[in-house]
A = this chain, B = another copy of it.
Amino acid sequence: MTRKQRRSRAAVDTSAPTIKQVAEQAGVSTATVSRVLAGADGVSVELSKRVRAAVGALDYQPNRIARNLRVRGTRTAGLVISDIQNPFFTSAVRGIEDVLQADGYTLLLGNSDENPARERVYLATLRAEGVAGIIVAPSGAEVSEYRKLASARVPLVVIDRNVSGLSVDVVTVANADGAHAAVAHLIGLGHRRIGLIAGPPSVATSGEREAGYAKALAAVGLPLEAELIRYADFRQGGGYAAAQALLDLTAPPTAMFVANNLMTLGALQAIHERGLRIPADIAIVGFDDMPWATSLQPPLTAVAQPTYEMGATAAQLLLARVREPDRPNRHVVLATQLIVRASCGNRML
């Protein structure tokens, strides 16, 4: 019925113009139109002009779907991230977008929300949608899921968290080094009881950061005390609870290292609620530098991750693989940087 209505209104053709209509209007064949639009040489100036005029008159937009079907490939790349609300990822998205866009690609973005089931759905959809390749920030789907993609020869690059047992391109940061630098800095400032608010043990990045913490302590012969290490969920609420626990200790830490940005927010909240002073009562350094770090009082010392660069690198890797499917895999590890501000305290004070 709806359909009939639409058809009967057909005095003005409401549907998008096709290449055929352009060809008619210009008095040429569709092949010529296609050539002009593709910028192929070997078309006379005269016809070229007529085609362009017709395109303009009709406001013609080539149908990408038809084109994609014909050339069996799209100028679209897929991205599935695990938390679109986390600035860490949005910054990476920009990096990805910038290099992709420069190559004429469009980004199809999905947000798995740290939910493996949702991640699977997006992976499948993206594949069915015929994307040229996929960049994924894993959120716990089984390795087999990624393998399926790989065996279907869908270019795949993994970012942020490595997936063990999977050989694809991956770009991560030097998590252990970053954590090590942060904790070593705290030690250098005289701290001996340093709390760690770690992420879920199951997540690769979390383990690496914990290893960096341990290594920094070991380097100066400090013991690894279980009570000083709290595992949370990488979210604000988890960081809040973990900080509470740490602060409740009979011998609370004099400093804490928080393994991600959202948990740092939670820890800060716990500290403020108790009226504790930073860094006099408790020093704090976070992992991942954020826009709000400089707006805190005192400004937050943090391990900065090159998020934009991570995204850009991943996109480059993807593009390279699209061009050359059989090139060897690469794992690029980006360096972090400790940004020292005031929340960690300072010898001078």
Report A's interface with B, CB cutoff 8 A: 14, 16, 59, 61-66, 68-69, 74, 76, 84-85, 87, 90-91, 93-94, 97, 101, 106-111, 113, 121-122, 124-130, 148, 152-153, 236, 262, 264-266, 268-269, 272, 290-292, 294-299
Contacts and interface: CB of A to CB of B under 8 A. Distances in A.
A98 to B, nearest CB: 9
Contact of A84 (B93, B262, B264): B93
A20 to B, nearest CB: 15
B129 A65 contact: yes
Given A94-B84, A129-B64, A265-B295, A108 B109 contact: yes
A342 to B, nearest CB: 10
Given A64-B129, A272-B295, 19 more contacts: A14-B153, A16-B152, A59-B152, A61-B128, A63-B69, A65-B129, A84-B97, A87-B87, A97-B111, A108-B109, A109-B109, A262-B291, A264-B295, A265-B291, A265-B292, A266-B295, A269-B294, A292-B292, A296-B297
B111 A63 contact: no
A148 B59 contact: yes
Given A265-B292, A269-B294, A108 B111 contact: no
Nearest to A2: B324
Contacts of A294: 265, 269
A242 to B, nearest CB: 14
Contacts of A68: 65
Taking chain A's interface residues, is the majority helix, strand, or loop, or is none over half, making it mixed? helix
A84 B76 contact: no
Contacts of A84: 90, 93-94, 97
Contact of A272 (B64, B69, B297): B297
Given A65-B130, A266-B295, A85 B91 contact: yes
B291 A128 contact: no
A263 to B, nearest CB: 11
A207 B62 CA distance: 39
9 contacts: A61-B127, A62-B128, A65-B65, A85-B87, A85-B90, A106-B110, A108-B109, A109-B109, A262-B291
A68 B125 CA distance: 13
Contacts of A124: 61
Contacts of A74: 65
Given A93-B84, A93-B111, A297-B297, A130 B292 contact: no
A126 B121 CA distance: 22
Contacts of A111: 93-94, 97
Contacts of A62: 128
Contact of A108 (B106, B265, B269): B106
